[in-house]
Amino acid sequence: MSAGARVTLVRVRRTATTAVVVAALVAVWGAATARGDSDPASDVLPVQNVFVPYQPRVSQTMQKTLRGVTAAAAKAGFPIKVAIIATPDDLGGVPDFFNKPQPYARYLGAEISFSKPQPLLVVMPDGLGTYKAGPRAAAAVQGLTVEKGADGMAATAVKGIERLAAAAGHKLGSFKSGGGGSGGSSTALIFAGPLVLLVIVLAVVSYRRMGREDEELEEEEQPA
């Protein structure tokens, strides 16, 4: 193959590689966004302890308190997670579950349980729902009124976790603000991030390889 033909081939391969990388990035981001839209809490809770509403937002202070109480519960042998659902938008593709905390708790609990059942507390404006939180869970949260507003729902969740832990025989120690995680708009990034990084690494490797081929071509083109 002549040097000119090889140059053309390298340029064609470079253009094709760029197109593939761009297409892969678009596909990865689209898939992650679609997954996040299906049921945001089921995407967040496998990797974090707390899912909070998109709007209205829970204050940073209350988010830290939620993370603290779930961390304390886990330390006490009661690893519960909590989803606060303020509007149908927080349910993504399953908005019919809004203000149906117990049916949604069963649905979400099954979604985030893998090797074993995952205890869960769901807080909605209309009430609370639980999943695999112990045989006395329903009685423990019965009569607990959901406070108004995003922070009020978060405060209700803290009380609910404390009651559920006590009913299951787990005494929570004092807990500090911090630990765990909170949900919301970062759902797509959680799942897309590693895939995007992989695509970038592959792109860098491909470009380096093509760069070496360019250098070899330049050497061949130089007169002896």
Residues 84 and 153 sit within 8 Å (Cβ to Cβ)? yes
What pLDDT is attached to residue 149? 96
pLDDT at 187: 46
pLDDT tens, residue by residue, 189-218: 444 555 556 656 566 556 566 666 666 656
Lowest mean pLDDT among 13-27, 39-53, 64-78, 114-128: 13-27
pLDDT value at 132 more than 90: yes
Whether 78 has a pLDDT exceeding 90, the answer reads yes
Q: How confident is the model at residue 175 (pLDDT cuts 50, 70, 90)?
A: confident
CATH topology of domain 49-182: Diaminopimelate Epimerase; Chain A, domain 1 (3.10.310)
Long-range contacts of 125-129 (CB under 8 A, 24+ apart): 125/86, 125/99, 125/153, 126/99, 126/100, 126/101, 127/99, 127/101, 127/102, 128/101, 128/156, 128/160, 129/100, 129/101, 129/102, 129/103, 129/104, 129/105
> Which residue type sits at 115?
S
Rounded to two decimals, what is the model's pTM?
Answer: 0.67
* Rounded average pLDDT over 36-49: 88
CA 106 to chain centre: 19
pLDDT (average), residues 90-110? 97
pLDDT band (50, 70, 90) for residue 37: low
* Residue 161 contacts residue 69 (beta carbons within 8 Å): yes
Distances (CA, A) of 158 to 60, 63, 79, 162: 14, 10, 14, 6
* Extents of the domains making up the chain: 3-38+188-221, 49-182
